[in-house]
Structure 1
């Protein structure tokens, strides 16, 4: 029986070797979802704008949510509220798009499973690259909106890729785990949407952590999406630099999750063909 390596070195070599294949598949995936639609790829612009408008109205007008302006000033403008809200949405949507597709990732590419030479481990990376395209579009919208509404974009916005790096590693770890498990336990694909929705409302997407009672904040910080959401607002909106100690801890945890997820994927992939 063929054995698949769980070594990080093997993974790195596979990603480097198959980088062009990943880019081609990601481009096909990102553009293919709009194939046949009237507006085509313009939906990648319209969808985040529409959701931003809805969420801004609901949480700034109906629920009267407010953020502090980085420190003490209250965010009164709905436009400023939208910028803060959108920054959190961008990070969560990256996680949501990848993780929601992960349980059916192998099942939807059954033709690749039969090909021994196809590197199945790159499929979560393809989904991540496709989602990164939509993230880049959303970040562009955010920066333009911030420039129009606030009047300036903080120079710390260039630090966003550093904030994103450990989140992407964490997402890959979760995706490898769910992709492998979803082959054997099909119910995951049916329940993952509920779990992601619950996680969204438990994450500081629509509220600042500082608005919570002290006794609840510890639980919020255990949420894996809390750090990237808060840090993205720091660099994109408030003009604060990265909290390097928290970044280091989060990166270490993300690397562990990725290694465990990849190990699980490699250990279970030998049975994919039999189950599918």
Structure 2
């Protein structure tokens, strides 16, 4: 093979690898297909007074898209990493970022499935989990969140005041990140799994690493969530306290999974509003 032909082949292979590695190079607009139809109770937060929109986060193997919202002007704001639901960074997660920015935070949600696929276009939840979500390595997610925090520090965020919150799939990640990053000040988990069957890509569950918690964590759970039994929530709380960690678990009676997802039938206004107030108080109490 000539040198020129070899160079062309290398370019083609490189381009093909790039397409495989980064399936998503920009965020979707609207809501994920698997969440349709969208509820009439959906909360929409405007961007008045905010600098809000898509950004690209430099990571070790390229760039991943993210949604960032922060107050316009002023001093560097405390950073809150917002970790997506199982459906990816769709409109609800963007709205969460705007809500946090209205409170004075630099809120950023990175598309953590960017290499594995576009979750927004999959209408069947089981297919979504098997074809995309199960293929996302925990190590990759934690690395991307570290990169997001580093980006925020260059973009108007105060990296010395770093918090994290996440929902559903992202709730589990909040636990893992609190067990990973010693610079974290506080975390708030919304119905994130605590135990489960480990896999090669997800080798540990939050309860396995509870002794490594670096930051106080508030857990918000539904008492009628079949996927996260209340006894596992209490088991995590007991293990954390035995390890000398600051953890508070709140279980809302007769409340389902995804009770903060105002765009879905699972939404429960009372627990959602109470959880939001508790989250704010938790962040304030721990330096955010």
Please, what TM-score do these two structures have when normalized by structure 1? 0.28
Please, what TM-score do these two structures have when normalized by structure 2? 0.27
* Richer in strand (by share): 2
The structure showing larger relative contact order (alpha-carbon pairs under 8 Å, at least 6 residues apart) is 1
* Richer in helix (by share): 1
